[in-house]
């Protein structure tokens, strides 16, 4: 299958490679010409056969809006735009309406996998009408992990990004729990090998997880996380999850508390945020701040 891919950064570049490894034809565009296969969106669209599918992997908000506005002017009725970034689900509804007036289909895809997705595959949560989603399933099948799981048609437009938002809210709470446990273990005199305590949890315990494995990786790199400043951003989905919980009267004490804990890192150097920062770097390649700052 042919597909255009806009945005070839940490995830988009690896997605292009995974798709090509599965035999698909990918035409990639990026503002960095060293990454791009073509020089412009016009050239990308011209190289695809109709009906075209173009996957957008750029930062949520203004950048995504800019690309979708350009594609709206270039694509034809029957073509499809897939937004695979971390857009808010309410933006999806607007994009679907605007593109629909031109006869262009829209699908939103929540994508999880970070910098490990090339090797392990990407978990995909997709929103859109049934026929359009089914037409794109060869692409989803190539991107998802091997085996029966890792891809779901979650519902109508917006459902994919809403599901990914909730996923990221849960991620906030899980990382916060590991970070709090790590800080307490580091604090007491009786435990003198916290890294190996974390490693011992990787087999046979009820709290084993990929995040725990990544925490051990981070501690192998920096035994006490002394190289990191205790600062961690919140990328938006955590806030949106809490706002959605309020709108729907759903109690979310753990996720809400984990979001507010991030704000502690805006003040003094927070030991818990060292672990949060280390975990975000491990699974997503997110930037960390040096303790030397």
Which tens digits make up the pLDDT trace of 238-282?
999 999 999 999 999 999 999 998 887 776 667 888 888 899 889
Q: Which residue has the higher pLDDT, 133 or 283?
A: 133
pLDDT tens, residue by residue, 44-80:
999 999 999 999 999 999 999 999 999 999 999 999 9
Burial class (CB in 10 A: 0-12, 13-18, 19+), 22: middle
CB within 8 A of 254, min separation 6: which ones?
173, 176
pLDDT of residue 236 exceeding 90:
no
**Range in 23-37, 191-205, 251-265 with the lowest mean pLDDT:** 251-265
- Residues labelled as active-site residues: 164, 171
CA triple 272-275-276, angle to 5 deg: 85
Element at 140 (helix H, strand E)? helix 137-143
pLDDT given at position 261: 87
pLDDT tens, residue by residue, 134-157:
999 999 999 999 999 999 999 999
pLDDT of residue 292 exceeding 70:
no
- Alpha-carbon distance 7 to 15, whole Å? 10
């Amino acid at each position: 299958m042919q597909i255009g891919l806009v945005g070839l950064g940490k995830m988009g570049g690896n997605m292009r490679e995974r798709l090509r490894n599965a035999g698909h034809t990918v035409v990639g565009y990026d503002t960095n010409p060293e990454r791009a296969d073509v020089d412009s969106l016009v050239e990308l669209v011209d190289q695809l056969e109709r009906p075209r599918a173009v996957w957008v992997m750029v930062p949520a908000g203004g950048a995504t809006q800019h690309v979708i506005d350009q594609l709206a002017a270039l694509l034809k009725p029957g073509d499809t735009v897939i937004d695979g970034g971390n857009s808010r689900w309410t933006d999806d509804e607007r994009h679907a309406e605007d593109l629909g007036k031109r006869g262009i289909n829209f699908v939103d895809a929540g994508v999880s996998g970070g910098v490990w997705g090339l090797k392990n595959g990407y978990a995909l949560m997709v929103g859109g009408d049934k026929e359009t989603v089914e037409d794109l399933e060869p692409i989803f099948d190539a991107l998802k992990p091997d085996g029966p799981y890792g891809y779901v048609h979650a519902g109508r437009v917006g459902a994919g990004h809403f599901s990914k938002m909730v996923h990221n809210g849960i991620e906030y709470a899980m990382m916060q729990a590991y970070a709090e446990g790590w800080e307490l273990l580091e604090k007491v005199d009786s435990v003198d090998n916290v890294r190996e305590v974390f490693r011992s949890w990787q087999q046979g315990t009820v709290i084993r997880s990929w995040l725990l494995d990544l925490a051990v990786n981070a501690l192998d790199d920096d035994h006490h996380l002394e190289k990191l400043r205790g600062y961690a951003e919140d990328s938006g989905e955590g806030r949106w999850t809490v706002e959605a919980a309020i709108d729907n009267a759903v109690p979310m004490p753990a996720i809400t508390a984990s979001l507010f804990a991030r704000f502690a890192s805006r003040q003094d150097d927070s030991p818990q945020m060292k672990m949060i920062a280390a975990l975000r770097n491990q699974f997503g390649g997110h930037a960390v701040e040096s303790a030397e700052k």
